[in-house]
A and B are shown apart, each in its own frame.
Chain A
Amino acid sequence: EVQLVQSGAEVKKPGESLKISCKGSGYSFTSYLIGWVRQMPGKGLEWMGIIYPDDSDTRYSPSFQGQVTISADKSITTAYLQWSSLKASDTAMYYCVRRSATYYYFDYWGQGTLVTVSS
């Protein structure tokens, strides 16, 4: 069974750093791209970026370029999303997603990681 299991909720202060994780299982981790999607409270879905775990080739949405870093460790089948200096506006639910082998849709979603940034 394909699963994407994300790390737990985080409460951070502005200016702090954070790295959240997404562990893939039940499939060949290096054969599928893993992406991240943000959902701010009461708002819609925003694609942030995507990584090919096999060679760590990464692409970002222009809206998130330079704001976050996406990485992956294929040895432990885990992808990451990190911030060096959080802002209150980073408060959101973050989902990791697996891009399908064909057609470029997201066929599996993690359960989401809620990040709260507040002083």
Chain B
Amino acid sequence: EIVLTQSPGTLSLSPGERATLSCRASQSVSSSYLAWYQQKPGQAPRLLIYGASSRATGIPDKFSGSGSGTDFTLAISRLEPEDFAVYYCQQYGSFQWTFGQGTKVEIK
């Protein structure tokens, strides 16, 4: 089973700042099978990024994904109040899906 490790666990930033979240896989992941989700309190997660770097429908371009192999990154430019949430990476391989443990982006 591929394990995804996200860092940092919590990121404390001010509105207007840039956030950089990391997702590291225990073995190589196809970029096609790496996604990112955002979850706000009391809500279901929503898809942000798929295929490591493609934005889902309706997702603003302040969200960007990059990476390959075992190292992937989600960047959020110009944080706005609604961006403070928990972010999860997720991968697929051999009919198994796994999530990272999440990174909480909180207001500093």
Within 8 A of A (CB), among B31-62: 32-33, 35, 37, 39, 44-47, 50-51, 54, 56
Assuming the A-B contacts A45-B102, A105-B35, are A100 and B50 also in contact, with contact meaning beta carbons closer than 8 angstroms in the complex? yes
| A53 located at the interface, meaning its Cβ lies under 8 Å from any Cβ of chain B in the complex | no
Assuming the A-B contacts A45-B45, A100-B50, are A105 and B99 also in contact, with contact meaning beta carbons closer than 8 angstroms in the complex? no
Contact in complex: A110, B44 (CB < 8 Å): yes
| B98 located at the interface, meaning its Cβ lies under 8 Å from any Cβ of chain A in the complex | yes
List residues of chain B with CB within 8 A of the CB of A111.
Answer: 44
How many interface residues does A have (CB within 8 Å)?
A: 21
Main secondary structure of the interface of B (DSSP, over half): strand
Contact in complex: A112, B92 (CB < 8 Å): no
Q: Which of A35, A59, A106 has the most CB of B within 10 A?
A: A106
Residues on A lying within 8 angstroms of B by beta carbon are 35, 37, 44-47, 50, 59, 61-62, 95, 100, 103-107, 109-112
The 5 closest A-B pairs by CB, nearest first: A104-B92, A105-B35, A47-B97, A109-B44, A45-B99
22 contacts between A and B (CB under 8 A): A35-B97, A44-B88, A44-B102, A45-B39, A45-B102, A50-B97, A61-B96, A61-B97, A62-B1, A95-B44, A103-B33, A103-B50, A103-B51, A104-B92, A105-B35, A106-B37, A106-B47, A106-B90, A107-B47, A107-B56, A109-B44, A109-B45
